[in-house]
Structure 1
Amino acid sequence: MVVTDAAQSWWEESNDNILRMRETGWGGDEPLLSREMCELLDGVDETFAVTGANTPGWPNPFKDGPGPVEEAYERSSNPEKYRIVVARAQAWTQVLLDRGWAREASHADWALPPMEPGGTDTVLKPSADGAVPLVLTTHTPMDSDHPFNITIAAGDPAVRLDTLPDCACDGCDSGSARLLEYMDMLVLSVVDGSLDVDVGDDRYWVRTSFHVRGGGIQGPRARTAFTAAPWPPNWTARPVAPLPSLRG
């Protein structure tokens, strides 16, 4: 059962759904987002109201209606709207620096770099023992037909966790709320310390408390592995999801 309430943040909705599932006995085994995590996300939302003032959100164009036509996968009618991910990254950066959990560093070394070359790196280096840096790389479009995007990475050397949007075509558009929710989950996992990364010669795994992502590797890379620790003091990280079974 999934509850949808436009007035709710994704973290409030997530906790409400877990509690409802526990009441009915239909799942709900995953941990709730703690009060401290929700307060952190509330702070990011408040700052985003300023940094994102000129980057409005948009609904899922296919919710409660027909799916995209084939031609929608061949066009991007409004790539400018994806500047919203840059504004969200700015909000996260400001909040994390204001809380004193990290300082801004000038350079990132890479174990698994962004798929797109170039870009401007914002490197936040935490002060806590065992905590890993967060790297937010802004890719500016070459022209008005292409979107802004952000690569979220972690570690030293850094490993890309994902790039948002991964596709800006009209057919893949699921609305801004889902896009920002996924971005929040990735950044929160780095800060929370609920992140385990393993980059091998030809495959990689990224585990958070929300998702497990893995696959083959394309492009340059260097072997690395790490388990993150929380940025804030006196903070308990969420448990990371287990690796999927590879047995048939």
Structure 2
Amino acid sequence: MHSIIVVPAHSTGPASQLRLAPGESLTFGRRATGPGAPAHHLPLTHGGVSRTAGRITATGTYWTIGNLSAHQTYVVENPEGAGEHIKVAPGRIDAPVPFEFSRVVLPAAGDLLSFEVWAPRHDYADPTAPDGPDDGTGAELTAPAFPLDRTKRYFQVLAALCEPRLRGAPHAPLPTVEQITARLRPVWPAAGRASVQWNVDYLAVKLRLKQPPEAADGGPRLNGKKESLVSLALRFNLVDEDDLAVLDGRAPA
């Protein structure tokens, strides 16, 4: 199972994303893909980027980055973190990245190049273990079926999607992206159509939704994706009425 998803700057969907299983690595840089290139490589076609500028390695639940350039510092930003970021100095190897979503930014001869890395997998200790979640046996952790963090923006988007049906209208039409944006703006002033849509797409990846058949035919892909998300969330109680508190900036009861 993959644990890291690398999203190029101009990605148009899953076909252009690169998935890494634990232990796999990906290089990035000016070097083109093809014969002689590493099996996993993200080309950054800019004259100001080294041929092999860096390396990303997936672990079970997080990832590391190595800066293989001689002079440039890289920055890994948390898009949800109000400026939270880490710096990766030239030559630094295997710097751990703690963010679930990250934007890697490289300076390149006056330009800033970027790509995203998603780490949607979360593992948790099994609370039913004989001696509690950490019994010192080294037993393998239990991977949750639906690893959702209720403090993240994507959970607010999911709650807003589910709100009409949780308010007692089980067959209510789902809110549009514009309606979700308006609903969240009091607690998320920077919310916009693109950022809400990004979170819908990320939820589909995180919850491992299968692509609806109409997507292959250019049909109503977004509506099908939203319907699938809400159906899954309500069927397995991933969101309940108490969780709607996040839409007002409060913690769920």
Larger radius of gyration: 2
Would you tell me which structure has more helix in proportion to its own residues?
A: 1
Instruction: Using CA pairs under 8 Å that are at least 6 residues apart, name the structure with larger relative contact order, 1 or 2.
Output: 1
Shorter-chain TM-score bucket reads: under 0.3
